[in-house]
Amino acid sequence: MSDPGDGRSRQPRPLPTFLADGLAGRESAAQADLAVDEVTHVRAARIRPGDRLAVADGAGRRWEGELIELGRRGARCRLLRALPARPPLPVCVWAPVANRDRSLWLVEKVVELGVSEVTWIEWERSRSVGDAGRSESFRQRAARRARAALKQSGGSWLPRLLGPVSLKQALAGHEGAGWLADRGGSPFFAGGTALEVAPVRSGSLLAVAVGPEGGLTAEERRRCEAAGFELISLGPGTLRFETAGVAAVALAAAVIRDTEGMT
């Protein structure tokens, strides 16, 4: 459609995304029931039977759908056609057990960027932190925040939310490249050129690790380096962990998509 005011093409508005129950693992389906907690969101978006929307299963598939039923406790859609789904970013974020609200903000932003996994790490200086990352209540909050971020970004994959685990456990279970955000690391950009980064092997994840609010110990830094992690500086300032995490994931996304042709 053309805009007569400026002659430029007007992009169609993206369909709002909603998550469906019971579709993960099913190869084909003609209809889908939206998740129970989506009904309120459907009403808030003023979507009525006959309106179009996007339906995601959180496991990589998206459809254009038509709302056909809307009740007090449920909503059903007719699935019209499959939509292109971008692949998950092969990145796992190693987030510190830290302040609850800032941890939830980090989850929201890295899910918008498309990460595959978030694991909470019990760094040495995370031990004084009360609850965030350890309780079932926090994990439920994080899962809800991840679902909201997936819908906001029009993504296709809900990440795995894991932990908390010790650094020793995390290093033992990781078989890929790693970045450690560290003020003393190599500048990501030097002389206008991006730092050379080890490629992510097929089937593996790049671990992007950020330390706790109190900083890393020298021993933790040494153990990460011994495991092959590259120390990456994000600038001269001291960043909060959630700022460092989002910045590092955004850089990783740019590097991976450039080298591997991801869209």
Kindly report which listed range (129-138, 144-153, 216-225, 253-262) carries the lowest average pLDDT score: 253-262
What is the number of helices (H) and of strands (E) in the chain?
6, 13
Instruction: Give the per-residue pLDDT at 79.
Output: 93
Percent of the chain scoring above 70 in pLDDT: 84
Residue 62 backbone dihedrals phi, psi, to 5 degrees: -135, 150
**CA dist., res. 68 & res. 51, Å (int):** 8
Instruction: Give the per-residue pLDDT at 117.
Output: 96
Q: Is residue 125 pLDDT above 60, yes or no?
A: yes
Q: Is residue 25 pLDDT above 80, yes or no?
A: no
CATH annotation of 17-83:
2.40.240.20
The answer to whether domain 17-83 and domain 89-260 are alike in fold is: no
CA nearest neighbour of 153 among 12, 13, 14, 11: 14
| Cβ atoms 45, 16 nearer than 8 A | yes
Q: Which helix (H) or strand (E) holds 19?
A: strand 17-21
This prediction has a pTM of 0.84
Domain residue spans of the chain: 17-83, 89-260
Instruction: Give the per-residue pLDDT at 127.
Output: 77
Domain 89-260 adopts which CATH fold?
Answer: Alpha/beta knot (3.40.1280)
Residues 6+ apart with CB under 8 A from 184: 231, 233
Instruction: Give the per-residue pLDDT at 212.
Output: 92
Chain-centroid distance of CA 15 in Å reads 20
Kindly report which listed range (8-22, 44-58, 62-76) carries the lowest average pLDDT score: 8-22
Q: Is residue 217 pLDDT above 60, yes or no?
A: yes
**CA dist., res. 185 & res. 229, Å (int):** 11
> Distance between the two ends of the chain, CA-based, in angstroms?
25
Q: What is the SS3 assignment for 185?
A: strand
Return the structure tokens found at 220. 């933790």
Kindly report which listed range (33-42, 132-141, 162-171) carries the lowest average pLDDT score: 132-141
Q: What's the mean pLDDT when you consider all of the chain? A: 86
CA nearest neighbour of 53 among 157, 181, 151: 151
